[in-house]
Amino acid sequence: MCGIVGGVAERNIINILIEGLKRLEYRGYDSAGVALINQGQVLRERRVGKVVNLEHAVNEANIEGSLGIAHTRWATHGKPTENNAHPHISGTVAVVHNGIIENYQELKDNLESLGYVFTSQTDTEVVAHLINDALKSTSSLLTAVQQVVPQLKGAYALGIVHTDHPDELITVREGSPLVIGVGIGENFISSDQLALLPITNRFIYLEEGDIARLTRSSIEVFVEGQLVQRPVKELDATVSTVSKGEYKHYMLKEIYEQPEAIQQTISQALNSNALRADFLAEAVADFKSIQQIQIIACGTSYHAGMIAKYWFEQLIDLPCQVEIASEFRYRTPVIVNHTLYICISQSGETADTLAALRDTQQRALAKNLNIVTMTICNVATSSMVRETKHSLLTLAGPEIGVASTKAFTTQLAALMLLVLKIGQVKQSIAVEKMTTIITDLWHTPKVILDTLQQNKDILRLSELFVEKQHCLFLGRGTEFPIALEGALKLKEISYIHAEGYAAGELKHGPLALVDNDMPVVILAPQDDMLDKLKSNMEEVQARGGELFVFADENSGIKGKDRQHVVHIPSISPILAPIVYSIPVQLLSYHVAVLRGTDVDQPRNLAKSVTVE
């Protein structure tokens, strides 16, 4: 999604802005631009494609300035062209924008009737013209922005500069993330604090509806015209946590970080063989009252929710529904009393999940229903964490690769901790069972480490996928969502068409696809369904399909003609989906590298999907 960086300083900030944009590249984008205010002029450069193209243009033009805004654009309204790239200018006001102005057409018609000429197809350009127009009746840039904001419908974050105001940067947060980086004699803004980590670790997290004025030495935040105080928070993350280190791609680094990430996530909740008393202690009364669970999420996070459904129902007998947020939010689902609504989201900013949450909260309030909300999230400061009553953090550290890996497996670990906690509160899980799962959870990082040792074998298998057009992933039980996840990983980074199926569904349709040219990936942990899965493998082989099997080392499944097997260290069946995520991630990664795709920033995709 679009990314914003801006700053007001004593020094030339062009390199800070460009470096900031590079650090936002992971969000996904198709063009980039920058505008600096210098000696009464707006100096603007914009380029289609990578930030490095913009960097070359900026170097060639040799522009500099101590006040400026910069942007990476992920096209929503209008194609990825230079004219559509931000910043947009009207008169001498320059604007960058993340999000969508839903009523832009109506505003545009009105502005055109006033004589404003549009040079882009974007929704953003209306904001620049509206501010320019408002400046006819006030000399204050802040007042002009405060007059314009109530006219805008939608979700947006804005950065605004003007030649007549060489000492100030105005910013707005309404439905799209925005942080202020607090410096010494300089202040910055960004859609993600990661962009500003080389400069500061002190941040102000703006709230919805905040409008802020930054100068070199001051930060003022206003809500409906009134000055408010927002705390400055210090962040632990350092620059090294967001660098690739020795790895070729962020995705590979993040795959290898999983043992440590899972260790971190479970350590917040577990003693040696029990749940810590303080773990989710504040939620105990709510957990006692709930009678069912509704999970809402998108993409990979939705797959984590699907696995949790098996766990909630099988281990603690609690009914659980899971739904894709983009469907849930629009189908007017019945809001049921005493339900725990769980949002699962790596970023905590996904527009559909956030909208589904807000809608559920409003409808529950209107009907006076007693529901509880919770977020499982990797970003402590995110909108979802702030807007739900309870939260459980996945302590995976920043995830930069667009394809989610360590965020997914830590979501699974967190969900299992939640299942155990609710089971304990409701006394619906036996103590011995809980102790066994906790012991197995502690053991999981080591099993993942051992699984990562199979990397070379998985690389060898991936060579057989390079020329393929299609692929099937099959699993049963909790491996069914891993089959979906494997297919999603493969298609999003290697661009090979892939489908995940519950293996039992094979003869209800997908078997028709199987022929000599169809690779079929099988997820075969040592569980109750193994024999049935072996029958499914026979069905594929009988039709000439080529099998690629990730099988438990004790499963008895061996390699043979057109059956390639990588053995996975034994893990208890209940935690197997965490471990079997690793081979499908590695397979997708290697196939993508061999096919030469942009692994960390696959085409058309964004890391943080802040528009619907």
**What secondary structure does DSSP assign to 172-187, as a single string?**
EEEBS--EEEE-SS-E
Residue 455 contacts ligand F6R per CB under 6 A: no
Is 298 marked active-site? no
Stretch touching ligand F6R by CB under 6 A, among 89-97, 200-208, 342-350, 459-467:
342-350
Helix (H) or strand (E) holding 197: none
- Per-residue binder mask for ligand F6R (CB under 6 A), 484-523, x = binder: ----x---x-------------------------------
Closest to ligand F6R by CB, 300 vs 601, is 300
Residue 346 contacts ligand F6R per CB under 6 A: yes
Closest to ligand F6R by CB, 187 vs 347, is 347
How far is the C-alpha of 266 from the C-alpha of 438, rounded, in Å? Answer: 9
Closest to ligand F6R by CB, 141 vs 325, is 325
- Binding ligand F6R by CB under 6 A: which of 132, 171, 350, 462? 350
Is 343 marked active-site? no
Residue 263 contacts ligand F6R per CB under 6 A: no
Q: What's the N-to-C CA distance of the chain in angstroms?
A: 11
Closest to ligand F6R by CB, 459 vs 605, is 605
Which is the catalytic residue, given 2, 298, 320, 377? 2
CB of residue 341 vs ligand F6R: minimum separation in angstroms? 15
**Three-state SS for 604?**
coil
**What sections of 269-426 are H helices per DSSP?**
284-289, 299-316, 325-328, 351-366, 383-387, 406-425
Q: How many residues bind ligand F6R (CB under 6 A)?
A: 14
How far is the C-alpha of 341 from the C-alpha of 322, rounded, in Å? Answer: 10
Stretch touching ligand F6R by CB under 6 A, among 227-235, 296-304, 314-322, 586-594:
296-304
Among candidate residues 363, 584, 368, 580, the one with its CA nearest the CA of residue 487: 584
- Per-residue binder mask for ligand F6R (CB under 6 A), 391-420, x = binder: ------------xx----------------
Q: Which residue's CB atom is positioned nearest to ligand F6R? A: 299
Closest to ligand F6R by CB, 294 vs 301, is 301
CA torsion through residues 379, 264, 412, 582, sign: positive
Residue 124 contacts ligand F6R per CB under 6 A: no
Among candidate residues 271, 188, 177, 180, the one with its CA nearest the CA of residue 233: 180
Residue 382 contacts ligand F6R per CB under 6 A: no
**What secondary structure does DSSP assign to 493-511, as a single string?**
HH--EEEEEEGGGGGGTGG
Distances (CA, A) of 335 to 240, 338, 392: 44, 9, 23
How far is the C-alpha of 114 from the C-alpha of 108, rounded, in Å? Answer: 10
Residue 345 contacts ligand F6R per CB under 6 A: yes
CB of residue 25 vs ligand F6R: minimum separation in angstroms? 16
How far is the C-alpha of 474 from the C-alpha of 549, rounded, in Å? Answer: 10
Closest to ligand F6R by CB, 379 vs 422, is 379
How far is the C-alpha of 178 from the C-alpha of 192, rounded, in Å? Answer: 7
CB of residue 30 vs ligand F6R: minimum separation in angstroms? 17
Closest to ligand F6R by CB, 122 vs 410, is 410
- Binding ligand F6R by CB under 6 A: which of 298, 425, 533, 549? 298
- Binding ligand F6R by CB under 6 A: which of 3, 159, 299, 486? 299
CB 122 within 8 A of CB 87: no
- Binding ligand F6R by CB under 6 A: which of 66, 263, 301, 494? 301
- Binding ligand F6R by CB under 6 A: which of 326, 347, 394, 478? 347
Distances (CA, A) of 79 to 49, 51, 74, 120, 612: 12, 17, 9, 10, 17
Stretch touching ligand F6R by CB under 6 A, among 63-71, 219-227, 341-349, 504-512:
341-349
CB 61 within 8 A of CB 48: no
Structure tokens given for 165: 């105001």
Stretch touching ligand F6R by CB under 6 A, among 60-68, 278-286, 343-351, 533-541:
343-351
Closest to ligand F6R by CB, 125 vs 492, is 492
CB of residue 127 vs ligand F6R: minimum separation in angstroms? 26
Identity of the amino acid at 585? Q
Distances (CA, A) of 33 to 70, 130, 383, 596: 6, 21, 27, 27
Positions touching ligand F6R (CB under 6 A) are 298-301, 345-347, 350, 353, 403-404, 488, 492, 609
Annotated catalytic residues are 2, 607
